[in-house]
Structure 1
């Protein structure tokens, strides 16, 4: 499995379109706080429009879902709550999951926990619970959990580094159970100079983050982790 995972990662790095797929229906719920909501981007879309466009251009039907709306593109829905910490996001998501029923959940949350230094030792367990709660609904969902971008707050940034390292172990715990969780390493494509205010990425960094989510979804689909959508499309205004 390690060899196969390394091979897939190398293939994606060398040939970014190697695992592209088409003809699928993706109901994606972007989950998180202000970065997911798109704060910092000039158009308010964050990485979400970039991810949407990449998947749609491959020939897929894409629907972004969630109770929140932000940005200027035609699928502005998400579950991004500015200022929220992991436990608060989890509460919102459990209200949203039974209505929107995503087959893909992209999760980027934890920056506020790190910059506020909220129970640093409990960060991996809180993320495990959030992911577990997303997966525990009766339909099948692929969870793409992101590493966090860097932060200008030195103490918070040190915790972000610890958090990011732990996410691979968290994902592996689920994989060992046969559950569909994959890490998108967005931290690797965002530098401190890409932050508009010390926390939120600029447009160029958001675009690179969207590419990382896209690549992670491609890898997940190649592993058979993209299920058919469950139920009729949710009504969204």
Structure 2
């Protein structure tokens, strides 16, 4: 694993290279899936701190289906009910702001799967869909430079954003093309359009998902993770 990290480190732009890279001890455990929740306030869990947003219901769903998970990231927050509180969520951050930091985060964590949800704050702060898609494209470059064999599940913006409705819709058109370009380059990435994942009435504050909506988000992530792993959901679940 040290050799893998050394190769990945050399591929990162100089500004992304951390001075010290600690490879977690469990990184070589073949029975554990290392999952990095990567994003902004929805990754932290704003709107439902009692469930750490989607992270607790996602953990519960995967555990019920026999998937052993190690959440990874340099941040830690969540309720006592969540056995693993690691994540890479930065409340208020745009995708553009994350770009120069992402390589170091991913290099240190070496995730098997990255759950990427970013771009909402870019739109809220006036960036257009094209610029936001370009930031996410660069962010993916950094992810794959640091962990070439990771699988990225990139979700679209699920917040309603009524004032940015047109740019939100355009972003949902651009991001499948971004994902396709990375797949053509040999990267493992998929885009999930979440524009209609839950109605605006299920938000906690008009922007962040509420507890019920986060359970829906968790199911979306779990479905995609299990499809990637070839895991069949428990009997009785779709």
Q: TM-score, normalised by structure 2?
A: 0.77
Q: How has the CA–CA distance of structure 1 residues 42 and 99 changed in structure 2, closer, same or farther, with 3 Å as cutoff?
A: closer
Shift of 1:219: 2.6
Provide the residue aligned with 1:85 in structure 2: 94
Partners of 2:162 and 2:147 lie apart in 1 by 41
C-alpha distance after superposition, 1:121-155 (max 9, x if no partner)? 2121111111121011255100010011132x433
**1:206 maps to 2:214:** yes
Partner residue, 2:139: 130
Aligned residue among 156, 159, 173 for 1:150: 159
Give the deviation of 1:60 after TM superposition.
2.1
Partners in 2 of 1:140 and 1:120 — Cα distance?
Answer: 28
Supply the distance in 2 between the matched residues of 1:174 and 1:180 (Cα, whole angstroms): 8
What is the aligned counterpart of 1:38 among 31, 41, 45?
45
Per the alignment, residue 116 of structure 2 pairs with 107
Number of aligned residue pairs: give it.
Answer: 200
In the TM superposition, residue 186 of structure 1 has moved relative to its aligned partner by: 3.1
Task: Provide structure 2 residue ranges, at least 5 long, that are not aligned to the other structure.
Answer: 1-29, 231-238
Q: Is the 8 A contact 2:103 2:146 kept in 1?
A: no
Q: CA RMSD in A?
A: 2.0
Describe the shift of the 1:91–1:74 C-alpha distance in structure 2 as closer, same or farther (beyond 3 A). farther
Partner of residue 84, structure 2: 75
Q: Aligned partners of 1:168, 1:119: CA distance in 2, in Å?
A: 16
1:1-237 to structure 2, matched below 5 A, reads 24-72=31-79, 73-151=82-160, 153-222=161-230
2-structure distance, mates of 1:74, 1:91: 30
Would the aligned equivalents of 1:50 and 1:210 in 2 still touch at CA under 8 Å? yes
Q: SS of 1:143's equivalent?
A: strand
Residue-by-residue CA offset, 1:186-237 (whole Å, 9 max, x unaligned):
3332211111112100011011111111111223234xxxxxxxxxxxxxxx
Q: Distance in 1 between matches of 2:173 and 2:179?
A: 11
Q: Give the TM-score normalised by structure 1.
A: 0.78
